[in-house]
Chains A and B, each alone.
Chain A
Amino acid sequence: MFITALPTIAQMVGANRILKGVSITYPAGDPSLAVGDEHALRRRITERALEMLSTDVGPGTVWETP
């Protein structure tokens, strides 16, 4: 599965499990958050990635991290 802030490009090149990242320069973090909050966000993103890996999806599926 692919974590990227540019899901439309990922779809175009044929990626199937795509998770929308936070930003191009920090797909799995957010420097505007306090350290603890940022870590919690990264954990949610990673858990969502695992959820996507264990889910049956169609071609070019894009999920977001709630």
Chain B
Amino acid sequence: MTVVHYLNQFFAGLGGEEAAGSEPIRIDGPVGPGRALAAAGLAVDVTIACGDDRFGEHEQESLETLLGWIEELDPAVLVLGPAFGSGRYGYACGVIAREAGRRGVPVVTAMTPDSPGVIAAEGVAYVVPTGSNVASMKDAVPRVAALAKRLAAAEPIGSAEEEGYVPRHRRENVRSGRTGAARAIDLLLAKLDGDVRTEVEPSADRVLPPPPVPDLATATIALVTEAGCVPQGNPDHLPTRHANVWLRYPLDGVGSMSPDAYVTVHAGFDTTFANQDPNRLVPLDAVRELEREGRIGALHDTFYTTTGVDTPVATAVKFGQEIAAELKSADVSAVILTGT
């Protein structure tokens, strides 16, 4: 029985953000969390790894290499992560899990339930829910190992509710001893008691594309970013990750995101290039130029910022709604949002 384990550059010991561009690599035996899996009874034969930025920016190429190795190794089970709350790592785990799963490989991964990787996995892989950081490793590893061993042995796996994995949005017909009416009443009574549950999870929120801006020459455009750009010194202490706030800063008389005046405090990527010239994150100099030329009516006199790292979707939705409400009341026509 062959067990293959996927890790990002950090957990594979290749390095931190400076190694996020690392190309796919194949290592014999367990590495890092793979050793913990081995201690939990799942012996890892081969570790495969890729830098998070490399995967995100060269998804097809990276995926081809990794899937090539997986196909060659023909594992009884593929384990990915845990990725915890890391968006890029979780995304890579989710995509690889989905593609390997579609090729018939039993797959289990682990991450926070609101990771983009859960959406990327499209219900193909079993996803063990974890906490947002590595502190939950001890709890996650035995659960991942146990599920992986059962998958490798082709044992039947029960429902998400019974087994504790993240719901896969799959509907399976099961025979219930109770009628729909009785079950519906149960759900209603539970709800009246404050316990809201469902037999079918709702799907992700979707917003239709707003209509185009009719006349840019009279439009007010706002700049918003999740790249963590703040005035030098971070005077309002924007958190470097897990931000619970967004902030606004004036742009009156500011023509460019000068590195003397602005800095990014984002903990989710290598900020070296961004801090050499923060216009690379918030394209203020270019927008000002277009404003001077009359291509847009005006740039809104305030920019909005937060750090999008380990941010739960619910928090991001709340930030979006709050910022949008302010922009609407200021008669802003459209937003250029930049993300890292």
What is the interface of chain A, defined by CB distance below 8 A to chain B?
1-6, 8-10, 12-14, 16-17, 21, 23-31, 38-39, 42-43, 45-47, 49-50, 53-59, 61
Q: What are 5 A-to-B residue pairs whose CB atoms are below 8 Å?
A: A3-B283, A6-B56, A12-B204, A14-B206, A42-B285
B91, B211, B289: the one within 8 Å of A6 (CB)? B91
Complex CA distance for A10 and B120, rounded to whole angstroms: 11
For residue A28, which residue of chain B has the nearest CB?
Answer: B283
Q: Which of B32-40, B192-200, B329-337 contacts A (4 or more CB under 8 A)?
A: B329-337
Interface size for chain B: under 10, 10 to 19, 20 to 34, or 35 or more residues?
35 or more
Cα separation A21 to B282 with both chains bound (whole Å): 12
A47 contacts B290, CB within 8 Å?
yes
| B129 adjacent to chain A (CB < 8 Å) | no
Which of B53, B204, B281, B283 is within 8 Å of A13, CB to CB?
B204
CA distance A45 to B274 in the complex (A): 16
Name which of B70-78, B146-154, B157-165, B265-273 contacts chain A.
B265-273
Q: Would A29 and B273 be within 8 Å (CB), given that A1-B336, A2-B339, A56-B211 are in contact? A: yes
Cβ B281 vs Cβ A24 within 8 A: no
- Which are the 9 A-B pairs with shortest beta-carbon distances? A29-B280, A16-B209, A26-B280, A46-B286, A28-B283, A4-B339, A42-B286, A43-B286, A12-B119
Cβ contact of A12, chosen from B53, B120, B213, B316, cutoff 8 A: B120
Residues of A within 8 A of B337 (CB): 1-3
Residue contact B274 to A5, C-beta cutoff 8 Å: no
Expressed in whole angstroms, the Cα–Cα distance for A30 and B340 within the complex equals 14
Q: Is A9 within 8 A of B295, CB to CB?
A: no
In the bound complex, residues from chain A placing their C-beta under 8 Å from that of B273 are 25-26, 29, 31
Q: Which residue of B lies closest to A3 (CB)?
A: B338
Name B87's closest neighbour in chain A (CB-CB).
Answer: A9
A25 CB contacts on chain B under 8 angstroms: 53, 269-274, 340
Which residues from 289 to 340 on chain B have a C-beta closer than 8 Å to any C-beta of chain A? 289-290, 295-296, 313, 316, 334-340
Name B119's closest neighbour in chain A (CB-CB): A12
- Kindly state whether residue B46 has any CB partner on chain A within 8 Å: no
